[in-house]
Structure 1
């Protein structure tokens, strides 16, 4: 197993530790900072595994499948925790997770038709904005400036989620036609 795939597996393995620090009092008030640090490190493995796989020609079928799945697991777990802690409205999480299911469905149909749907820049911007939003909401500093920043990133992430969905659907609408043609 190559290093990029090991980093992807590491990201998945970090999720339970993130959950423990996010949802329990095991570390007291430091728990949210430990959870934020775990989330940041896990998020950084996403960038590193992709960079290493492309730079050293280590792209594998396992990586193509597991890397986006690991990202979705990490981000969805974090957002569900943020519902539990009262930091993120459930309806926003439902919209964001729904987008992920729709795009995954598109990719599955495309794959059955021999079509590869590459990640778009809108999708990459969406992912970065969601990760920044999650970090801000986990840290949750009580200040008017920070409150505005958190709210701004919640709505930026939501907007980019919807924009990236529309972008994927418009660019790949032929995937839904019979035979993908």
Structure 2
């Protein structure tokens, strides 16, 4: 059981993504009657998903059960979670749909590249650009939820447009880092194919 604990946490994170989406969509219905409760539930689920991401790697390393499945499953769970968060932001009107498409296209291209390299027996580890992208996306997600929460409870607050701008700047930096990291992966994959 111990060897499957990390992968189980990752699978739970994948399963919670659609729950988060549904809960996020229900918040506007609940806000008029109980905004704090509704937003609190969204935040609790978000934190559970983020901490499960932190703990699955820690569990795998501490128990010496890092597996090939985990190496594939964890980045997949990250993509599912991020795309879910960002789609929620599009639905809430705080993220343009075209930015979501840029994120989606990059992730699909990355998946395609990994599949092509896997057919040649090549597995690429995380590159610096990919790690920077992950951090920026995580910060953007947090800021987006803060912006959404403040807008849901105090829509007339002067913080709403400021938070929206900061969210968009950090998200934009994440998208730029994502495409730079994709080019890093293409170059690294090409070098391994040549060798």
What's the TM-score, normalizing by structure 2?
Answer: 0.79
Consecutive aligned runs of 4 or more in structure 1 exceeding 6 Å deviation: none
Q: How does 1:100-111 map to 2 (within 5 A)?
A: 100-111=107-118
Matched, 1:95 2:109: no
Q: How does 1:1-181 map to 2 (within 5 A)?
A: 2-25=4-27, 27-28=30-31, 29=35, 30-139=37-146, 140=148, 141-142=150-151, 143-145=157-159, 147-173=161-187, 175=189, 180-181=193-194
Q: CA RMSD in A?
A: 2.4
Give the length in aligned residue pairs. Answer: 180
Is contact 1:21-1:32 (8 Å) kept? Answer: no
Deviates more, 1:52-61 or 1:96-105: 52-61
Is contact 1:133-1:150 (8 Å) kept? Answer: no
Deviation sequence 1:114-149 (CA, Å, 0-9, x none): 211111232222222222222322232244446434
Deviation sequence 1:54-106 (CA, Å, 0-9, x none): 23221122212221111111111111111111111111111111111111122
> How much has 1:38 moved relative to structure 2?
0.9
How has the CA–CA distance of structure 1 residues 44 and 83 changed in structure 2, closer, same or farther, with 3 Å as cutoff? same
Unaligned runs of 5+ in 2: 152-156
Deviates more, 1:28-37 or 1:97-106: 28-37
> How much has 1:155 moved relative to structure 2?
2.3
Is contact 1:103-1:165 (8 Å) kept? Answer: no
What's the TM-score, normalizing by structure 1?
Answer: 0.85
